[in-house]
Amino acid sequence: MNVLAIGCHPDDLEIACYGTLARLVKEGHNVYLAHVANGNMGHAIIMPKELGEMREQEAIRAGEMIGAKKVYNVDIGDCVVGRDYWETYRRVVGIIREVQPDFIITHNPEDYMQDHVEVSKIVFEASFTASVPHMFPEFENPAAVVPIYYMDTLGGHGFVPEQYVDITEEIELKLRALECHESQIKWMLEHDKIDFVEWVRASSRYRGLQSGVQYAEGFIMCKAHSRACCKRHLP
């Protein structure tokens, strides 16, 4: 299978679904990653242009660590995702047509910040439009309309999983990939006194306790027409 995970910021996938993605790679599937925002506002000292470049490289290293086929950067500035909706949506359609995914993982439609909510909306719309041949003909090979899985929210707030993936064997790799985002991990630890790696470990442990394993990640399937599927996609 081809699996496409589309997050907002360069570390969002690592936080919410990298254990599942690492497991999919291990099982022989092709995993592709995309981040819509470039992360350029995620620091109070490093200037946006420099930070955006740093975070792109951090995302590439994290993707390489789990064996992803490619990491896409849609390259929209932080805090303005959705302001130029048409162009962002067009670029995401292009990625979907290139990858030809069997299913997509993205943000829950109700999340803690607007950028995440906008990405969820864009992915839902773009994943349908990617099947329409005469929309954005510059991107060839229309894609099928495929299931979408919504990944957990930060800290699990307001999110009740319907499916769980056991990531006990992948948890350490997930956390090492998260640590590739050094610009964020160090900043939060030094200035906000937040050990973000430990936070993510604790969140994965909590989902594991809910589902009877040591560590897990939780998901909800999009239930719109033609999105539900009788085949099982997540591990």
**The predicted structure's pLDDT at residue 232:** 79
Q: Which residue has the tokens 């998260």?
A: 178
**The predicted structure's pLDDT at residue 173:** 98
**The predicted structure's pLDDT at residue 20:** 98
**The predicted structure's pLDDT at residue 42:** 82
In a domain, 217, yes or no: yes
**The predicted structure's pLDDT at residue 235:** 85
In a domain, 16, yes or no: yes
For residues 78-91, average pLDDT: 93
Q: Rounded mean pLDDT of the chain?
A: 95
What token pair was written down for 35? Answer: 């981040």
Per-residue pLDDT tens digits for 138-148: 999 999 999 99
Backbone torsions φ then ψ of 105, nearest 5 degrees: -115, 135
Cα separation, 175 vs 157, whole angstroms: 20
In a domain, 232, yes or no: no
For residues 158-167, average pLDDT: 97
According to DSSP, the residues that pair with 107 across neighbouring strands are 151
**The predicted structure's pLDDT at residue 186:** 87
Residue 131, pLDDT above cutoff 80? yes
In a domain, 234, yes or no: no
**The predicted structure's pLDDT at residue 64:** 98
Contacts of 76 (CB under 8 A, 6+ apart): 36, 37, 38, 84, 88
Residue 220, pLDDT above cutoff 80? yes
What band does 35 get if pLDDT is binned at 50, 70 and 90?
very high
The parent domain of residue 16 ranges over 2-221
In CATH, what number is assigned to the domain containing residue 188? 3.40.50.10320
What band does 93 get if pLDDT is binned at 50, 70 and 90?
very high
Residue 230, pLDDT above cutoff 80? no
CB atoms within 10 A of CB 213: 15
- Which pairs count as long-range contacts for 21-24, CB under 8 Å and 24+ apart, including other chains? 21/66, 21/68, 21/105, 22/66, 22/67, 22/167, 22/170, 22/173, 22/174, 22/177, 23/165, 23/167, 23/169, 23/170, 23/235, 24/235
**The predicted structure's pLDDT at residue 134:** 96
What band does 191 get if pLDDT is binned at 50, 70 and 90?
confident
In a domain, 23, yes or no: yes
Residue 77, pLDDT above cutoff 90? yes
| Distances, alpha carbon 234 to alpha carbons 19, 105, 149, 156, in Å | 11, 10, 9, 19
In a domain, 71, yes or no: yes
If DSSP codes are grouped into helix, strand and coil, which group holds residue 105? strand
How many domains are there within the chain? 1
In a domain, 108, yes or no: yes
